[in-house]
Amino acid sequence: MFKAIFFDFDGVLTLDQTGSLTTTRHISKVTGIDPRRVETAFALFNDDLTRGKCTHAAVWADIRRALHADVDISLLEEAFASTPLNNEMFALARRLRPHYVVGVITDNKQDRMDCIERLHRLSSYFDPIVVSAAVGSTKASRGIFEHALSLARVEPSECIFIDNSVRNLLVPRKMGMVGMHFDDVTNDVPGLIGELAERGVVLDDAT
Protein backbone atom coordinates (compact mmCIF):
# COMPACT_ATOMS: atom_id res chain seq x y z
CA MET A 1 0.00 0.00 0.00
CA PHE A 2 2.64 2.51 1.02
CA LYS A 3 5.55 3.56 -1.15
CA ALA A 4 7.03 6.49 0.79
CA ILE A 5 7.55 7.45 4.41
CA PHE A 6 8.46 11.04 5.24
CA PHE A 7 9.83 12.29 8.55
CA ASP A 8 9.78 15.76 10.03
CA PHE A 9 13.26 16.83 11.16
CA ASP A 10 13.28 18.67 14.51
CA GLY A 11 11.44 16.80 17.25
CA VAL A 12 11.41 13.59 15.24
CA LEU A 13 14.88 13.03 13.82
CA THR A 14 16.37 15.24 16.55
CA LEU A 15 16.02 15.27 20.32
CA ASP A 16 15.10 18.97 20.46
CA GLN A 17 11.53 20.00 19.76
CA THR A 18 12.59 22.78 17.39
CA GLY A 19 15.70 24.03 15.64
CA SER A 20 15.19 27.42 17.25
CA LEU A 21 15.55 25.80 20.66
CA THR A 22 18.85 24.20 19.62
CA THR A 23 20.24 27.45 18.22
CA THR A 24 19.07 29.61 21.12
CA ARG A 25 20.46 27.26 23.74
CA HIS A 26 23.91 27.05 22.17
CA ILE A 27 24.34 30.76 21.51
CA SER A 28 23.11 31.64 24.99
CA LYS A 29 25.45 29.11 26.59
CA VAL A 30 28.53 30.31 24.71
CA THR A 31 27.89 34.05 24.98
CA GLY A 32 26.13 34.27 28.32
CA ILE A 33 23.32 36.28 26.72
CA ASP A 34 19.90 35.64 28.27
CA PRO A 35 18.18 32.93 26.19
CA ARG A 36 14.99 35.00 26.00
CA ARG A 37 16.91 37.82 24.32
CA VAL A 38 18.50 35.36 21.88
CA GLU A 39 15.11 33.86 21.09
CA THR A 40 13.58 37.29 20.51
CA ALA A 41 16.42 38.41 18.24
CA PHE A 42 16.09 35.39 15.98
CA ALA A 43 12.29 35.38 16.07
CA LEU A 44 12.28 38.71 14.23
CA PHE A 45 13.51 36.92 11.11
CA ASN A 46 12.28 33.37 11.68
CA ASP A 47 9.42 33.38 9.19
CA ASP A 48 11.47 34.91 6.35
CA LEU A 49 14.37 32.54 7.06
CA THR A 50 12.05 29.53 7.09
CA ARG A 51 10.43 30.58 3.81
CA GLY A 52 13.77 31.29 2.14
CA LYS A 53 13.16 35.01 1.78
CA CYS A 54 16.50 35.81 3.41
CA THR A 55 19.56 34.11 4.89
CA HIS A 56 21.22 34.35 8.27
CA ALA A 57 24.22 35.98 6.60
CA ALA A 58 22.01 38.68 5.12
CA VAL A 59 20.39 39.59 8.45
CA TRP A 60 23.26 38.85 10.81
CA ALA A 61 24.03 42.53 11.41
CA ASP A 62 20.40 43.04 12.44
CA ILE A 63 20.53 40.00 14.73
CA ARG A 64 23.69 41.34 16.41
CA ARG A 65 21.98 44.68 16.99
CA ALA A 66 18.99 42.90 18.51
CA LEU A 67 21.35 40.92 20.74
CA HIS A 68 23.25 44.09 21.73
CA ALA A 69 26.42 42.04 21.26
CA ASP A 70 29.18 41.62 18.69
CA VAL A 71 28.60 37.91 18.09
CA ASP A 72 30.59 36.37 15.25
CA ILE A 73 28.50 34.50 12.69
CA SER A 74 30.77 31.46 13.06
CA LEU A 75 28.91 30.78 16.31
CA LEU A 76 25.81 30.11 14.23
CA GLU A 77 27.49 27.20 12.46
CA GLU A 78 28.49 25.82 15.86
CA ALA A 79 24.88 26.08 16.98
CA PHE A 80 23.68 24.18 13.93
CA ALA A 81 26.30 21.51 14.53
CA SER A 82 25.13 21.09 18.14
CA THR A 83 21.83 19.62 16.95
CA PRO A 84 21.29 16.36 18.89
CA LEU A 85 20.22 13.61 16.49
CA ASN A 86 17.70 10.96 17.45
CA ASN A 87 19.79 7.89 16.67
CA GLU A 88 16.87 5.51 17.17
CA MET A 89 15.00 7.27 14.38
CA PHE A 90 17.98 7.07 12.06
CA ALA A 91 18.16 3.34 12.76
CA LEU A 92 14.46 3.11 11.86
CA ALA A 93 15.11 4.93 8.59
CA ARG A 94 17.80 2.39 7.72
CA ARG A 95 15.31 -0.42 8.29
CA LEU A 96 12.76 1.24 6.02
CA ARG A 97 15.02 2.20 3.12
CA PRO A 98 15.18 -1.19 1.39
CA HIS A 99 11.40 -1.10 0.94
CA TYR A 100 10.32 2.55 0.67
CA VAL A 101 11.24 6.04 -0.40
CA VAL A 102 12.35 7.52 2.92
CA GLY A 103 12.47 11.31 2.99
CA VAL A 104 12.31 14.45 5.10
CA ILE A 105 9.80 17.29 4.98
CA THR A 106 10.84 20.13 7.27
CA ASP A 107 10.11 23.77 8.00
CA ASN A 108 13.71 24.86 8.30
CA LYS A 109 16.47 27.23 7.30
CA GLN A 110 18.53 26.16 4.31
CA ASP A 111 21.91 27.08 5.76
CA ARG A 112 21.16 25.04 8.87
CA MET A 113 20.15 21.98 6.88
CA ASP A 114 23.21 22.38 4.63
CA CYS A 115 25.43 22.41 7.72
CA ILE A 116 23.82 19.28 9.16
CA GLU A 117 24.07 17.55 5.78
CA ARG A 118 27.80 18.25 5.65
CA LEU A 119 28.25 17.03 9.19
CA HIS A 120 26.01 13.95 9.20
CA ARG A 121 25.34 13.14 5.51
CA LEU A 122 21.57 13.14 5.93
CA SER A 123 21.14 12.33 2.27
CA SER A 124 22.67 8.91 2.87
CA TYR A 125 19.59 8.14 4.98
CA PHE A 126 16.89 10.30 3.40
CA ASP A 127 16.02 11.17 -0.19
CA PRO A 128 14.35 13.51 -0.90
CA ILE A 129 15.05 16.10 1.77
CA VAL A 130 12.49 18.86 1.26
CA VAL A 131 13.23 22.10 3.11
CA SER A 132 10.71 24.93 3.36
CA ALA A 133 13.38 27.59 2.71
CA ALA A 134 14.20 25.97 -0.63
CA VAL A 135 10.57 25.47 -1.65
CA GLY A 136 9.20 28.76 -0.31
CA SER A 137 6.33 26.91 1.35
CA THR A 138 5.81 25.67 4.90
CA LYS A 139 3.76 22.79 6.26
CA ALA A 140 0.86 25.19 6.76
CA SER A 141 0.12 24.87 3.03
CA ARG A 142 0.09 22.18 0.35
CA GLY A 143 3.08 23.37 -1.65
CA ILE A 144 5.85 21.70 0.35
CA PHE A 145 3.97 18.39 0.41
CA GLU A 146 3.16 18.53 -3.30
CA HIS A 147 6.84 19.13 -4.00
CA ALA A 148 7.83 16.14 -1.87
CA LEU A 149 5.28 13.90 -3.59
CA SER A 150 6.52 15.01 -6.99
CA LEU A 151 10.14 14.23 -6.11
CA ALA A 152 9.20 10.83 -4.69
CA ARG A 153 6.84 10.12 -7.64
CA VAL A 154 4.08 8.87 -5.39
CA GLU A 155 0.44 9.66 -4.70
CA PRO A 156 -0.71 11.08 -1.33
CA SER A 157 -2.48 7.83 -0.41
CA GLU A 158 0.83 5.99 -0.81
CA CYS A 159 2.59 8.11 1.85
CA ILE A 160 3.01 8.31 5.58
CA PHE A 161 4.17 11.56 7.17
CA ILE A 162 5.48 11.57 10.76
CA ASP A 163 5.58 14.85 12.71
CA ASN A 164 5.79 15.89 16.36
CA SER A 165 3.17 18.61 15.83
CA VAL A 166 -0.47 17.66 15.32
CA ARG A 167 -0.98 21.00 13.57
CA ASN A 168 1.53 20.02 10.89
CA LEU A 169 -0.49 16.90 10.10
CA LEU A 170 -3.65 18.79 9.13
CA VAL A 171 -2.67 19.65 5.56
CA PRO A 172 -1.16 16.30 4.55
CA ARG A 173 -4.15 14.44 5.99
CA LYS A 174 -6.51 16.63 3.95
CA MET A 175 -4.42 15.75 0.90
CA GLY A 176 -4.89 12.02 1.57
CA MET A 177 -1.58 11.22 3.25
CA VAL A 178 -1.48 9.20 6.46
CA GLY A 179 -0.33 11.56 9.20
CA MET A 180 1.23 10.00 12.29
CA HIS A 181 1.93 12.02 15.42
CA PHE A 182 5.18 11.36 17.27
CA ASP A 183 5.41 12.57 20.87
CA ASP A 184 8.85 14.15 21.16
CA VAL A 185 8.56 14.22 24.97
CA THR A 186 8.22 10.45 25.44
CA ASN A 187 10.35 9.72 22.35
CA ASP A 188 8.73 6.28 22.11
CA VAL A 189 10.42 5.02 18.94
CA PRO A 190 9.51 1.36 19.65
CA GLY A 191 5.88 2.47 19.95
CA LEU A 192 6.10 4.23 16.58
CA ILE A 193 7.60 1.10 15.05
CA GLY A 194 4.65 -0.85 16.41
CA GLU A 195 2.19 1.62 14.86
CA LEU A 196 3.94 1.35 11.52
CA ALA A 197 3.84 -2.44 11.66
CA GLU A 198 0.10 -2.31 12.41
CA ARG A 199 -0.34 -0.35 9.18
CA GLY A 200 1.47 -3.05 7.25
CA VAL A 201 4.79 -1.24 6.93
CA VAL A 202 7.67 -3.64 6.27
CA LEU A 203 10.92 -3.17 8.19
CA ASP A 204 14.19 -4.99 7.84
CA ASP A 205 15.43 -6.71 10.99
CA ALA A 206 17.22 -4.43 13.43
CA THR A 207 21.00 -4.79 13.41
Residue-level pLDDT at 206: 78
| pLDDT single digits (tens) 56-92 | 999 999 999 999 999 999 999 999 999 999 999 999 9
Residue-level pLDDT at 207: 63
Q: Are 141 and 156 in contact (CB under 8 A)?
A: no
Largest CA distance in the chain: 54
SS3 content of the chain, % helix, strand, coil (to 5): 50, 10, 35
Residue-level pLDDT at 203: 94
> Looking at the structure, do residues 72 and 118 belong to the same domain, yes or no?
no
Residue-level pLDDT at 169: 98
Whether 160 is in a domain gets the answer yes
> Looking at the structure, do residues 76 and 57 belong to the same domain, yes or no?
yes
> Looking at the structure, do residues 26 and 10 belong to the same domain, yes or no?
no
How many residues are listed for the chain in this entry? 207
d(CA 77, CA 167): 29
Is pTM beyond 0.75? Reply is yes
- How many independent structural domains does the chain possess? 2
Segments in the chain below pLDDT 50: none
Whether 205 is in a domain gets the answer no
Residues in a beta bridge with 105: 130
> Looking at the structure, do residues 44 and 146 belong to the same domain, yes or no?
no
